[in-house]
Chains A and B, each alone.
Chain A
């Protein structure tokens, strides 16, 4: 489903996503109790990424939007990724 076609998302879907977000938040707190050294941040980021995906897809209706809107969001994430990579490459190569 895409384009300007009307879409009505059942409340049940919103409820499921809400429960999933709460569960993931609790999970992100729980994960800190496990000693994972440098992977702690990676784990926290993983939880954040999944939560962001759910919010963007369902709460912000990206699933039902036109393809060019999805492309714009993808472009934004690509830029974000490039900026992060460039910044941390500096740290990697710093003496």
Chain B
């Protein structure tokens, strides 16, 4: 058996195998290289989605046409949504940090199926190009919104099919990643690493993998049905042919609500690693966090109908979905309680990842509490399809996933690149980004309650003030993003060499050199009875 030190004594960044240069990356089956491939791909797509978002906010700077026509605006928010959901937040944390860290955290040399892992990334790239093809070729970019709702999705004259097929292929990438992680966690844990000793990030990847495996095929089949409806008019969703458009919404949200948990569970896992590390204290309620993770994964599967309260569902179904929506808030609240309790009497070390983690908890709580307004039947009718929904959605999905992503990035950066970032610029980036985020999305709650509908390129004069603040916030947020990215890129190349364990963490990935060796561990680690991922003195 080849050991890591035997592979030229090289780390995974410098190691040269069968292929050199770019080929050495895009044909590598090393989980860490694949994680970085995902990181660069997703960062590129995020920057694209961000530019589209900035364009939308610029359009809303003033009532009436500002920089684009209504149809362009419709296409812009559709493409923004498709990119951000299917290419950024769904693969985000699991594909990037799951790939980079999962084998290291469980003492394995790689994931269970390295070639399948590489195929997942290739499928991701294929899906990206298919969606981009929908923009560049044919009769105009799709304008249905990222939800592809029936019956408009098979009536629109825009170039929808490549986008739908692209989302279908991206789903396959997600399923294969989930399958790989499930088998890896079951089969490749090092000796002594019992389930009750697993780091919480690994537990959340486990819950996420189940959702990826079970929920994603549903949306895949649904998108195929949309394509069949559009091409052959099979009459499943088209009411003119005896179909039911609400069935489409059921099928779509059976995936897309659990997809929110694909995004948020690994985010919670990353925060659960960062909080005890920077409090130098055992995580409070380890088993409660595990139970709440699995409860979120399970109950989150059964609440999809709260996206459809005004669509024409039966009253009985509305009551049921509203009740379960309130129940799913409980395990999320348990996590927040445990994070805060972990900080109590901890030796808190205030560093950039800690800032991101704390601000994650704040935006996640605002997003979660505003979600209850939408989960309650009566108030949902008032704010449905208003800017309130956009505010809530971005607080949870962008706030939750984005803040946790940057928290994880600043936490594991020294391990991934073997260099430390400039902490001052990192903190400035966090501050500017957070101010921008709050200014961008908080006015949407007010605008929504006052009745401003979403997905329109125009609005009444009374909504002008809130929109000016929101657009200004988008510029501040983008500035913060640029500061963060420039600092990280510069630091990855020229930063100070990082120690093996700069944060004094207890999980296994910090026991290997930074950046890690090609095969992770020279000798297979063994976890003793008294060892644990959060055993701080």
Interface residues of A (CB under 8 A from B): 76, 79, 82-83, 86-87, 89-95
Number of interface residues of B (CB under 8 A): 15
Residues of chain B within 8 A of A90, CB atoms compared: 246, 250, 305, 313-314, 316-317
A14, B21: Cα distance in complex, Å:
47
A-B interface, 6 closest residue pairs, ranked by CB to CB distance from nearest: A93-B314, A93-B316, A90-B317, A94-B314, A87-B250, A90-B314
Q: Does B327 contact A (CB under 8 A)?
A: no
Give A37 Cβ to nearest chain B Cβ, in Å.
16
A91, B317: Cα distance in complex, Å:
9
Interface pair A94/B250, CB less than 8 Å apart: no
Give B265 Cβ to nearest chain A Cβ, in Å.
17
Give B48 Cβ to nearest chain A Cβ, in Å.
34
Residues of chain A within 8 A of B246, CB atoms compared: 90
In B56-70, the 8 Å CB interface with A consists of none
Other contacts beyond A83-B302, A89-B317, A94-B312: 5, CB < 8 A: A79-B301, A90-B246, A90-B250, A90-B314, A92-B314
A85, B288: Cα distance in complex, Å:
30
A92, B314: Cα distance in complex, Å:
8
Residues 235-257 of B, flagged 1 when their CB comes within 8 A of A and 0 if not, give: 00000000000110010001000
A90, B313: Cα distance in complex, Å:
6
- What is the chain A residue whose CB lies nearest that of B186? A68
A76, B217: Cα distance in complex, Å:
12
Give B250 Cβ to nearest chain A Cβ, in Å.
5
In B246-295, the 8 Å CB interface with A consists of 246-247, 250, 254
Q: Does B47 contact A (CB under 8 A)?
A: no
Give B125 Cβ to nearest chain A Cβ, in Å.
29
- What is the chain A residue whose CB lies nearest that of B254? A83
Interface pair A79/B314, CB less than 8 Å apart: no
Q: Does B320 contact A (CB under 8 A)?
A: yes
A90, B319: Cα distance in complex, Å:
11
Q: Does B315 contact A (CB under 8 A)?
A: yes
Residues of chain B within 8 A of A76, CB atoms compared: 214
Among A86, A91, A92, A93, contact of B315 (Cβ-Cβ < 8 Å): A93
- Residue contacts A-B, CB under 8 angstroms, 6 given: A82-B302, A89-B316, A90-B316, A91-B314, A93-B316, A93-B317
